[in-house]
Every structure is written in C-alpha cells, then in structure tokens.
Structure 1
Amino acid sequence: MPNGRYSLHTDTGPAGHGPVLLGEERFSCAPGPVGWRYVSKTYAPDGTVLATTDLTLDSRSRPLRMEVRSGDWQVRGGAVDGVAWVRSAADDPAGEQAVEGHDRAHGFTGTSPAFLVATARMLGLAVGASSRVRLVELTEPVLAPRTVDQGWQLAGVDVHDTDTGPLAVERYLVADLATGEQRTVHLAGDVVVAAPGIELEELASPPNAWPARPAD
C-alpha cells in the first residue's frame, strides 16, 4: 500500500504574505478486493492529530464505507440510495446521541484529498467532457454535513517525464455551482498532485493506475 504526504495550507495568507501552513496529511492508498481504499491522519504543524480519514470505494468508485474523525466528532457513512451517514460525538462511543442523515447525493467531499480522487474517478470523464455532481460536504472541525453542487470538467491531460517513466496528469476544472468559484485540480492515478490548498510533498512509489470501470 504506497504511502505519501500532502501539505495543507490556506489558498492565500495575510496581506503581503503567502499561504499559511495548516498541517500535513500522511496517507496510504491502493486498489483493493472491491475497489480502492485510502487511510490517513492529518497533523497540525505542532504534531497534534487533527483528523483521520478511512475511505473505501467500490468498483464504480462509490463510497462503500467512509469514516472521518475530526476534533470531538466522527462521521460514518456510505452509499445507500444516495448516501447515508451517522454523525456522533467522539465521547459517545455507543452512539446514544448520534444523528443520522441521508441525501440523494453521489458521494461525499471534505478536507482530505481523498475526496477529490473519489469524485474524479466516480465521474470517469473523457477529455473535454464535463458533469454536474451533488456531494455531501463534511466541514471541519465539527464535521457538519451540507449539500453542495459542483461542476467538473476534464480540461486536459499533461504527460510529464519522470524517473519511472511518463506520468499522465489530469487537469480538472472544478466549480462551486452556488458561488461560481472555480479551482484547478491535478490528478495522477489515485494521487492529487496539486490543488488549491494541497501540495503533494512525498510519495514512496508511483501513483496507482486506476482500474477500468466494469461494463454497465
């Protein structure tokens, strides 16, 4: 299971300064028996654990199982006629005060780069194609769920020479359809190479090639 490290930072910093480092996410990801799995821990600059992510996708890149922990909260969920989830406090292991939720969304999104990979692979766009997708966003640190609509376009694929051979990097334009804000996300296989607020700092081995989707 290859592993790596992302740095996480603000898109912009205070006037006259660059982006502010928020921390880093150390991750492992690989294809598995049913699809793909990603596990990670996010650390503050002082080494404090901020969050953990455990995401398993099925063969069609839908969230088979998802567990995110942040601060005093945790959310478990998956694809059930859309997506369903249970949000509970970390000090309530029995879930006596847990709140369940459901939405006719396609998947989840959040701070972890894992969700960018999951959405791109679920859409399976050809170069030049675009699609609209409805996602449930888990906003940190309290993991409050809210529904967002995004537009994704695979704008192009750039091939880079590396020590291990050519690396195809997909360039996506991702728009928040409520605000019109647009960002560019660069993906290679199952790794985010770069995106606003995200930089790939280390990778122990080349990205995993994404398996072909099963025929409908």
Structure 2
Amino acid sequence: MPRGTYRHHDPHDGTPLGTERFQCAPGPTGWRYVSGVAGPDGTDSGSVDLTIDTRGRPVRLELRAGGWQVRGAALNGVTWVRMAARTGEGAEERNAPARAFTGPSPAFLVATARLLRLPEPGAHARVRLITFAPPALAARTATERWTLTGRDVHTSDGAELTVDTYLIDDLDTGERRTAHLAGDVVLSAPGIELADLDAPPSAFPQDPAEPQDPDAAADVMTEE
C-alpha cells in the first residue's frame, strides 16, 4: 500500500501551495485513495477520499476544502452534492452527463488514466469530466484529450516499474500538460511533485474481460 506526500505548487511561478499526505491501494473491487491536504504553513486545508471501481468509474467521492464539502458518484452520468462542511447547509444535488470527476489532487490523474486505459503509446481518447476547484469546490465541466506518449520499464533491485507518460489537453482552455504515472502513483505533473513514498506503487490488475460500458460511448471517445 503506497503512502507518501505530494507537494503542490503554482505551475507557472513555483509558489508553494501546500502538501497532500496520501495512501492508496487497489483491491478486488477497485481502488481507493485517501489524503489530507495542508496549506503552505502546515495547517489543515482539506481532504480527498476517492473510490473507483475496476473499470475506473467513481463509486464514491468526498472532498473537503474551504469550509465546503462535496460528495459524488457515478449515477446517471455523475451526480454530486455540495454543502457547508460543518452544518450541511445549502446542500444542492446536481447531475451532469460526464464520465468522472477531476481536480488538483493527483488521485484524479490516476483515476482518469484507469478509466481510459489507453493500450499503447500513440493511443488517445477524449473524456468529459466534472472538475472541482478549491477552496470553494465550485464545479465546472471540462473536456480533456489524453494521449499516451510513452511507456517505459525501469528495473531497480530486480523489480520492474512501468512508467506511463501522458499528454493531457484541456480542449476548453487550450492548456496542455504532461503527467508521468507509475501504477497508482503520480511521479510528476505540472504543479505536483512526489516528495516521498513509503512503498512502491501498486500495479493495477489486468483488465477484466467485460464488455464495453455502453454509457461510455458519449463521453469517452477513442480517437482514430
């Protein structure tokens, strides 16, 4: 079970934005990621709790930041409720025809990669996501194109580590970023640095022999 710390910083000027202490693990029914987020001064500033199923769909999401809380899951697309964290006031349920959630936590990079499962370098797909931005956890729709640009196998102490490199294009803003993932750990991405890791990344099990989810056709599109 990997445990470690990510450092967050502004991808443009390098200003420190805080840290995220995490643990994650795959299991027979999917993958779970739990983290506590701290500001640059070390004070608690939120948390992330994400569970996905074996096909990468969000079974349970709970975010906390800035006095707000979001709970969500894949239901008729994706459904979520945003409310005041302490009192539950202002709870409002919303729904959107998207495939999953995203945000600044590295958990979402791992979850989206698992959802798309690009088979080999050169493969790419487009996906519609709902993104939440702290501190207000306001939601917006984002459409991204993911391209698997490289897959490298590194050997250390007799163990193999496969590192996938993704080029991620935000089709709404034109922003482009590159992320390097090894199993269920993000090695690096814009604004994200893996500061320490207590155990090697976990490899996801081989894909189950299941038919394609028909609901994915509209929002996860493998491009020729």
TM range (shorter): over 0.9
Cα displacement (A) at 1:44: 1.2
- Residues 42-57 of structure 1 correspond to what in structure 2 (within 5 A)? 42-57=37-52
Q: For residues 40 and 114 of structure 1, what CA distance do their matches in structure 2 show?
A: 9
Cα 1:96–1:23 shift into 2, 3 Å: closer
TM-score (norm 1): 0.93
User: What SS does the aligned partner of 1:6 have?
Assistant: strand
The whole-number CA distance in structure 2 between the counterparts of 1:170 and 1:2 is 18
Unpaired runs of 5+ residues, structure 1, are 14-18
In the TM superposition, residue 88 of structure 1 has moved relative to its aligned partner by: 0.2
Secondary structure of the structure 2 residue equivalent to 1:120: helix
Residues 104-119 of structure 1 aligned to structure 2 (within 5 Å)? 104-119=97-112
Please tell me the root mean square deviation across aligned C-alpha atoms, in Å. Answer: 1.2
Q: TM-score, normalised by structure 2?
A: 0.90
Higher-RCO chain (CA-CA 8 Å, sequence separation at least 6): 2
Match of 1:8 in 2: 8
1:205 shift after superposition = 1.0
Q: Which residues of structure 2 form unaligned runs of 5+?
A: 212-224
Deviations 1:130-184 (A, max 9, x none): 0000000001100001000000010111223334523111000000001222110
Alignment equivalent of 1:121, drawn from 106, 114, 125: 114
- Please say if 1:203 is aligned against 2:197: yes
Distance 1:96 1:70, change over 3 A: closer
Aligned residue number for residue 70 of structure 1: 65
After TM superposition, give the deviation of residue 102 of structure 1 in Å: 0.4
Instruction: Map 1:90-105 onto structure 2 (within 5 A).
Output: 90-92=85-87, 95-105=88-98
1:111 CA displacement: 1.1
For the pair 1:169 / 2:163, whether they are aligned, the reply is yes
Q: Distance in 2 between matches of 1:44 and 1:140?
A: 12
Partner of 1:193: 187
Shift of 1:45: 2.2
Q: How far apart are 1:75 and its partner, in Å?
A: 0.2
Q: 1:84 aligns with which of 79, 83, 100?
A: 79
Structure 1 pair 50/96, CA: closer, same or farther in 2 (3 Å)? closer
SS in 2 for 1:142: coil
Give the superposition deviation at 1:96: 4.6
Q: Using the alignment, how far apart are the partners of 2:152 and 2:5 within structure 1?
A: 22
- Partner-residue secondary structure (3-state), 2:196: strand
Q: Which secondary structure does the structure 1 equivalent of 2:187 belong to?
A: strand
The amino acid across from 1:194 in the alignment is: S
Which of 129, 136, 155 is the aligned partner of 1:135? 129
- Are the structure 2 counterparts of residues 87 and 208 from structure 1 closer, same or farther at C-alpha, using a change threshold of 3 Å? same
Q: How many residues align?
A: 209
Dislocated runs of 4+, deviation >3 Å = none
C-alpha deviation, 1:192, in angstroms = 0.3
**d(CA) in 2 for partners of 1:7 and 1:97?**
32
Supply the distance in 2 between the matched residues of 1:187 and 1:196 (Cα, whole angstroms). 13
